[in-house]
Structure 1
C-alpha cells in the first residue's frame, strides 16, 4: 500500500502538519482553531487519510467551503456532508462565517493531478467562461473582496456590508444592489453555486459566496486593487445603465 503524503496546513502565518491515522479538525475548536466566531462550527472541516489518500470533509451543518487547486483553474463547492480528495500539490480552502471570510492553504507532497491556467490580458473586461464582467462590475467585486485580498498570508478578512461597499465606490446603494443582482445572476447561470437562495438570508450569504468565488478563481487579485484607488481619484462617478449592468 502506498504511504500517504505529508500534509501541511498554513493559516495566518502558522504552519500545521496533518498526521496519517489521526483526524485533523478545523473549526472554532480543534487542531486548527480558526477563531472564536460564534457563526463558525466547533468542528467544521475534517482532514483525514484513507488508503493512502487525504480527504477533506465538511462535518458542519450550515456552512459550506470553496475548495480550489490554488491556481484557480479547478474549483469545487463543499456543502455540509460532502467530502473531496486532496489531489493537488496546493489546495486553497475558503469559507465564510458571519461577516468574515477565512482561507487557509494545504500543501501536499504528492501531486496526483496538475492544472494549467490561461489568463487573458485584456483590460476593462474579465470573462468567466463566456460571461463578461463590465468594468463597474469588477469594481463591485473588488470593493467586496478588498479586505480578503489585502492579506499578506492566508487568514481572515471582513466582508463589508452593501452600504459600506457602495460608499467605498461612491455609488448610490440602489445602484450597488442592482449591479450585485446582475453579477450574481450571471455567475449563477454558468453554474456557480451559493449565489441564489431564499428571501431574508440571500443578501449576506451571496456577498460572502461571491468573495469566495472571486478570490478562489482569481477573478480578481491583489494587483487589481489599484482600480479602486483610481475610481476614488476620478471622483467615483455613478456608473450608467448602458454598460451591461
Structure 2
C-alpha cells in the first residue's frame, strides 16, 4: 500500500452525479445530514458516517458512525492492496490513487470512489449534524453488553483464531456469566434477531453458521457497543 504524503487533494465521487474536490486545508464528512450528503432518503444511514481529513501529510478516513461498517478496496485504476473493513470508531490511512468504498444499510447498497490525487496536510474538523437520529441503530442493555463482551473476548485475545474453535459454547458462556443455559441462549437469539431486523448483512436469512459464532465476530468488530 502506498500512502499519500507531501501535499495532495482528495476527490470524493458518489458515482451518481455528486463530486467534490477537498483541498489539503480542509476536511469533509459524508452522511445523511452531512456536508457531503449520502443516503438522504435512507433513514438507516448515519447522519455522519465517514470523515476524511489530512494528518501530517496523510489523508485519513474515520468511521464516525455507530452501526454501519464500510469496506475500502482498490479501484481497478490504482495500486493493489487487500480490502480493509472499516468498522465504527476506527480509522485508516488512504492509499494514493483511486479507492472504492462499499457499504450497505438495510435499505440500500452504496459505492463511492475516493481519490488521493497527490500527496497533503490539514487538521480534522467535523460539525455535528442537525437531523433526526438514525433509524435502525442497536443500543444494547447491560446484560446484552455482557454477552457481546464475553463472545468477543477470545477473538480480541487472538484475532487470527478460528471463531468456531475459540468462541465459548452456550454452556461455557452461561458459566462465565453466571446464568442458566436457557437464559444465555435466549439472549443470543434475541440479539441476533434484533440485528437481523435492523438489516445487518451478517444476520440475514441464508446464514448457515450458529448465531453465537456470527455474533462473536460482529461483537469483535464493534467493541464500542460494550466497551
**TM-score, L = length of structure 2:** 0.49
**TM-score, L = length of structure 1:** 0.46
Which of structures 1 and 2 has the larger relative contact order (alpha carbons within 8 angstroms, sep 6+)? 2
